[in-house]
Structure 1
Amino acid sequence: MNELEQIVKRYRNVTRLSVAVVYSLCVALAVNIFWTPGHIYGSGIMGVAQLLSSVSQRWLPFHIGIPLLYAALNFPLLILSWRKIGHNFTVFTVIAVCFSTILMRTLPPVKVQFDPIICAIFGGLFNGFGTGLALKNEMSTGGLDIIGIVLRKRWGKSVGSINIAFNTIVVAGAGFLFGWVYAFYTILGIFVNGRVIDALYTRDRKLQVIIITSNPEQVIHQIQDEMRRGITIVHNVEGAYRHRPKTMLFTVISRYELRDFQMALQIADPNAFVSITKAEMILGRFYQEHIY
C-alpha cells in the first residue's frame, strides 16, 4: 500500500469515526428527547429494546434500561455482520453501537412533554438522519440495518423499506401498552425514519442513463475512469434537426454515483444530451461495490 492509499484510508476511517459520533448523538436525542417522553417507539432493534424496557417497567419487579437492551440485542447481529458483510464495516458498527449506548445512558430524558406527533416526526428525522448518514459512509448502526443489508444483497430491497416491514410487532406493542393512538404515532415515526434513510442511502437505487454525444470516445473514457460501469454503444444515430451523425451510449449507474457521472460528462462533453430515468429492475451483471 503506497502513501496516498494510506492517507485515503486514514481519511475514511476518521470520517467514519466522526459519523459514528454524529449517529450516536442523533439516536440519543431521538430516544431521550422525543420518543421516550412521547411514548413513541422507534424502528427495528431500538423499538424492540424500548418495548422490552416498557414491559420490564410495567410487569417485572426490576426495570431494564433501553441502552442495556439495545446493546444486548445487537450482539448476535454484530456476529452476523462480521460473517456476512465485512470486518471493517462491523468494527465501525460496534463503535456506533457503543457510542450510542453510552450517550443514551448519559443524556437524561427531558421533562418537557412535546405533542406526540412532534415526538414521532422529529424522533424519526433525527434517527433516520443518523442511520442514513452511517450507511452512506459504509457503516451501520446495528440492528435491522444489518439484516436489511444482508437481505438487500440477496433480493435487492431498499434498506428503509425492509426496516419498515420488520416493525409490525413494535407497532402492536405500542398499541397494547399505551393505546392505539400511540400505535399510529409510532407508525408515523417509523415511516419518517425509513424515508429519511432512503433519501440519504442511495446505493440501492439504480438509474438508467442514455447519452447522445458527438464525442463518444472521450465520454466512454472519462466515465470508465471515474466509475466501474459497462457501456453499450449504438452507432449511426442521426439528429433529426440538423441531421448530424451522433452516437448513443447506454449504461446503468447507482443514485450514489450520479454526481461523479455528471462531473465526468461535463469534462468529456458538456453539450451531450442525457436522459436519466429510474430503473425498476436490473437483470444480469451489475457491479455492486462491496462494503468492507
Structure 2
Amino acid sequence: MMNVIKNLSIEKLMYKLSASVVYAILSAVALNFFFQPGHVYSSGITGLAQIFTTLSSKLLEHNIPVSITLYLLNLPLLILAWLKIGKRFTIYTVITVTLSSIFIHIIPEYTMTTDPIINAIFGGAVMGAGIGYALRSGISSGGTDIVSLYIRKKTGRQVGHISLLFNGIIVMIAGVLFGWQYMFYSLLTIFVSSRVTDAIYTKQRKMQATIITQHPVEITQALHQQLHRGVTVVRSAEGGYTRADMTILITIITQAEYQEFKYIMKKTDPTAFVSIAENVKVLGRFVEDDN
C-alpha cells in the first residue's frame, strides 16, 4: 500500500481528497437533514446501516450510531475493491468512507420538514449529487457503488441502473421489517438518487475523436502516454483545399478525459482538425481507468 501512495502525485491526491470531503458533507447533510428526520431509508449501504441502527435500538435497547454501522458494513466491500477494482481506487474509497462516517457523526440532525415525500426527494437529490460527484472525480462512496462499478467494468451497464437493482432489494428489507410505506418512500429516494447520479457521472460516456493532422506521430505518442488510449491511423489522406498530405487518427476517449485531450491537441498540433462524436457505443476491448 505504501508503494501505491508514494506513486500518487500531490496534485491528484489533493483533488481527490477535496472530492472526498465534498461527498462526505453531502452524504451527511442528506442523512441528517432529510433521511433521519423523515424516517426515510437511504439507498445502498447507508440505508442498510440505518436499518441496523434501528434494529439495535429495538432489539438491544442500545442505539448504535449510523456512522459506526456504515463503516463496519463497508469493510468487506473495501476488500472486494482492493482485489477486483484497483489499489489506488480502494485507498481513495477508504478515505471517502472514513470522512463520510466522521461527518455523519459530527453534523447534528436537523428537522427541516417531517413530510417523508419531501425528505425522500430532496435527500435523494443531495445523496445522488454526492455519489455522482465522487464517481466523476474517480473515487467511490463505498457500499453498493463498489459492486456497481465492478459489474459495470464487466457489462458496460450504467452505474445508476445497477445501483437501482441492488438498492431495491435493500429497501424491500426495510419494508418487511418496518412497514411498506417506508419502502415506497425509499424507492422514491433511490429513483431520484440514481437519476442525479447518472446525470452528474459522465465518465462512462464515450466519445470518438477523429483527428486530421500533419503530425500523427507526436499526437499518437501523447495519447498513448498520457491517456493510455489506442489510436487507429489512416494514412495517405489529402486536404481538399490545400492538397497537403494528411493523416487521419481515430481514438475513443471518455467524457472525463475530454479536457486533457483538448490540452494534448493544443500542445501537439493546434492546427489539427478534430471532430468529436459523443455517446458512441464500443464493442471490444476498452479499458476505463478508475484510478
2:288 corresponds in structure 1 to 288
The alpha carbon displacement at 1:13 in A equals: 2.5
Residue 97, structure 1, aligned to residue 97, structure 2: yes
1:151 corresponds in structure 2 to 151
What is the alpha-carbon distance in structure 1 between the residues aligned to residue 271 and residue 38 of structure 2? 52
Output the TM-score relative to the length of structure 2.
0.81
8 Å contact from structure 1 (residues 24, 99) kept in 2: yes
What is the alpha-carbon distance in structure 2 between the residues aligned to residue 15 and residue 257 of structure 1? 15
- Residues 202-232 of structure 1 show CA distances to partners (whole Å, capped at 9, x for unaligned) of 3332222333456655654554564322222
Structure 1 range deviating more: 82-91 or 143-152: 82-91
What is the alpha-carbon distance in structure 1 between the residues aligned to residue 88 and residue 122 of structure 2? 31
Letter in 2 for 1:109: E
- Residues 156-178 of structure 1 show CA distances to partners (whole Å, capped at 9, x for unaligned) of 33333222220122332454434
**How many residue pairs get matched?**
284
What is the alpha-carbon distance in structure 2 between the residues aligned to residue 102 and residue 227 of structure 1? 35
Alignment of 1:1-292 (within 5 A): 9-58=9-58, 61-176=61-176, 177-180=178-181, 182-212=182-212, 216=216, 219-220=219-220, 223-224=223-224, 226-237=226-237, 244=243, 247-267=247-267, 268-270=269-271, 272-284=273-285, 286-289=286-289, 291=291
What is the alpha-carbon distance in structure 1 between the residues aligned to residue 279 and residue 54 of structure 2? 42
CA spacing shift, 1:251–1:88, aligned 2, 3 Å? closer
The alpha carbon displacement at 1:100 in A equals: 1.9
What is the alpha-carbon distance in structure 2 between the residues aligned to residue 7 and residue 76 of structure 1? 25
Letter in 2 for 1:93: T
What is the alpha-carbon distance in structure 2 between the residues aligned to residue 91 and residue 216 of structure 1? 37
The alpha carbon displacement at 1:274 in A equals: 0.8
Unaligned runs of 5+ in 1: 1-5
- Residues 137-195 of structure 1 show CA distances to partners (whole Å, capped at 9, x for unaligned) of 33322211222222233333333322222012233245443444x43432232123223
What is the alpha-carbon distance in structure 2 between the residues aligned to residue 159 and residue 109 of structure 1? 29
Q: Secondary structure at the match of 2:282?
A: coil
Letter in 2 for 1:279: V
CA spacing shift, 1:244–1:120, aligned 2, 3 Å? farther
- Residues 217-256 of structure 1 show CA distances to partners (whole Å, capped at 9, x for unaligned) of 565455456432222233455677x595664332111111
CA spacing shift, 1:110–1:156, aligned 2, 3 Å? same
Structure 1 range deviating more: 243-252 or 134-143: 243-252
Unaligned runs of 5+ in 2: 1-5
What is the alpha-carbon distance in structure 1 between the residues aligned to residue 8 and residue 144 of structure 2? 29
Q: Secondary structure at the match of 1:283?
A: coil
CA spacing shift, 1:48–1:7, aligned 2, 3 Å? closer
Output the TM-score relative to the length of structure 1.
0.80
8 Å contact from structure 1 (residues 35, 119) kept in 2: yes
What is the alpha-carbon distance in structure 1 between the residues aligned to residue 150 and residue 83 of structure 2? 11
The alpha carbon displacement at 1:48 in A equals: 1.2
Structure 1 range deviating more: 155-164 or 249-258: 155-164
Structure 1 range deviating more: 217-226 or 193-202: 217-226
The alpha carbon displacement at 1:45 in A equals: 0.6
Q: Secondary structure at the match of 1:79?
A: helix
Alignment RMSD (CA, Å): 3.2
Q: Secondary structure at the match of 2:279?
A: strand
What is the alpha-carbon distance in structure 2 between the residues aligned to residue 34 and residue 50 of structure 1? 13
Letter in 2 for 1:276: A
CA spacing shift, 1:255–1:107, aligned 2, 3 Å? same
